[in-house]
Amino acid sequence: EVQLVESGGDLVQPGRSLRLSCAASGFTFGDFAVSWFRQAPGKGLEWVGFIRAKFYGETTEYAASVKGRFTISRDDSKSVAYLQMSSLKIEDTAVYYCTKYGGMADSWGQGTLVTVSP
């Protein structure tokens, strides 16, 4: 069974950093891209960023709202993707989800809550 489990969410102050993890199982992790999404409380879904598979250079794409502050990486040997978040803002408060991506964003995890508050 394909499964992705997000972790690392926490309550942090504005300006601080946090790293989220996305642990995958049930498929060949290295063959797929990984994307991160988020959902602020009571709001809709927002795409955060994307990392291609190693075959495609592990290159990344980011939403303008996080570009320069967030970095996505992956460790295929551990089947884990990471979302390194720095210079966090109050508006980054959201549940963060990761998905595998092979032409479609499937297998959403339960998400991990990041709260940015003074």
Partner 1 sequence: DVVMTQTPLSSPVTLGQPASISCRSSQSLVHRDGDTYLSWLHQRPGQSPRLLIYKISNRFSGVPDRFSGSGAGTDFTLKITRVEAEDVGVYYCMQSTHFPWTFGQGTTVEVK
- Sole binder of partner 1 in the list 11, 40, 45, 90 (CB under 8 A): 45
Segment near partner 1 (CB under 8 A); pick from 20-28, 68-76, 82-90, 104-112: 104-112
* 8 Å CB contact between 72 and 51: yes
Q: Is 41 in the site for partner 1 (CB under 8 A)?
A: no
Segment near partner 1 (CB under 8 A); pick from 16-24, 73-81, 82-90, 99-107: 99-107
CA angle centred on 89, ends 83 and 11, rounded to 5°: 70
Alpha-carbon Rg for the chain, nearest whole angstrom, is 13
Spatial distance between the Cα atoms of 66 and 48, rounded to a whole number of angstroms? 7
Spatial distance between the Cα atoms of 111 and 39, rounded to a whole number of angstroms? 9
Q: Is 11 in the site for partner 1 (CB under 8 A)?
A: no
- Return the number of the residue (46 or 76) whose C-beta is nearest partner 1: 46
Tell me which residues touch partner 1 (CB under 8 A).
35, 44-47, 50, 61-64, 97, 101, 103-111
